Structure 1
């Protein structure tokens, strides 16, 4: 592990705490944590180490949030695991690919943000109709393989995309979609982490310390979402979506 000052370690741990909370509520914690790591690690550190260490941290907080949701929210764990296994395969493959088309992602995020704003009822209550096999297959393909592959690319906002996809495809309310997304996200993180670990690009000591804070943030965030409900999750969702757009725009045209 590189030589990092105590001040930077404290800042990274606090960023990990906040990112865990955001990720548990609606996804998108990487929007905060990954830039913090890229800035905090010594100059000249390959970006792959920030990406790999980020995955080692995120999987702990995501697992804590998933366990909290599974205990108290109406989550179909078997369905989540089926989607998650597809996501694991997608993220493992995606971790070998180096680039993301930021402009395309920005257009998609702006589209979904506008859609959620114009549809106040989106995700406020679950559908009374049973989920068809066709919709389940679509969720496995899109939310599993597709978004899993995107996460392996280290694309920002994977959890947010999962929440939106599960709400749209399976007619979940936002709290149930967020709960299900945490289980799927555990699998995407695991797939990508295996690849980064195999490449040797994880600072395990730093990750272990930050993971403790991420776990606390994730557990508290899940409790917050369960307590405050879909309306609160919707507000956080829109905030994260437009923050992601701003971040991608900065990376594309300013940084």
Structure 2
């Protein structure tokens, strides 16, 4: 399966660059890369596995840049990340015996609620606010719920994390985006391990896309650091809206 045409490697390099850039700012990179991987002829399980491998590198680069820029303190999210890792593993195991179709139908409506809340809530994410839950309780509840969901199904995970960190924990939007990257990274690692042992990753294509992801994520993370919060909020809303459209299209086609 690795004997793909040169044009596929070139095209997917460009796709991964764009996905890494967008994902570092607002999430949703997988909604760009997975359809394109399947469009060039990869079976769904191979597309998902290869996508998980290449996306890890973009998320790791964005996390590293956010930490260097002062938006992220790894020590504050280390324990929550371990909890998310465990819960995502439980989700991955559960999906083997439970159909995700019921949950798939609900996700677009949850994203619509997030979109409307962020769009119409004045000042949301503009600056740090008082948390509605203590951090330990917040990470215990949302780490379990979102981590499990990411291992179980996945679409919209970044949006759910950013929304929860802004609306419940009271973080400013840019800090929320930075923490989202680390928490996403933690939940994705388990899936990558599963896919790596399954033998479904196309390593050469994955490495090609990973290089592009690193470049795109580096530029996207730099954009988050340099731009004002309202820019990040606009990109977040666009990404959530695009996710809603894509997921609804998948349901009705």
How many residues of Structure 1 are paired with residues of Structure 2 in the alignment? 248
CA distance in 2, matches of 1:106, 1:209: 32
Structure 1 segments of 4 or more deviating over 4 A? none
Mapped partners of 1:218, 1:74: distance in 2: 15
* Separation of aligned partners in 1, 2:133 and 2:110: 26
Paired with 1:41 and 1:211, the residues of 2 have a C-alpha distance of 19
Conserved 8 A contact 2:161-2:180: yes
Q: How far apart are 1:153 and its partner, in Å? A: 2.8
Distance 1:132 1:112, change over 3 A: closer
Residue 32 of structure 1 deviates from its aligned partner by 0.5
Does 1:86 pair with 2:83? yes
RMSD of aligned alpha carbons:
1.7
Unaligned runs of 5+ in 1: none
Equivalent-residue separation in structure 2 for 1:17 and 1:134 (angstroms): 37
* 2:127 aligned with 1:125: yes
Q: Give the aligned partner of residue 39 of structure 2.
A: 39
The alpha-carbon deviation at position 159 of structure 1 amounts to 1.5
Counterpart-to-counterpart distance in 1, 2:71 and 2:15 = 30
Query: TM-score, normalised on structure 2?
Result: 0.92
Distance 1:113 1:68 in 2: 27
**CA deviations over 1:6-27 (Å, ceiling 9, x no partner):** 2222111111101101111111
Query: Is 1:30 paired with 2:27?
Result: no
Deviation at 1:132, TM superposition (A): 7.8
Contact 1:4–1:41 (8 Å) recurs in 2: no
Extract unaligned runs of 5+ from structure 2.
Answer: none
Distance 2:85 2:231 in 1: 29
Aligned residue number for residue 20 of structure 2:
20
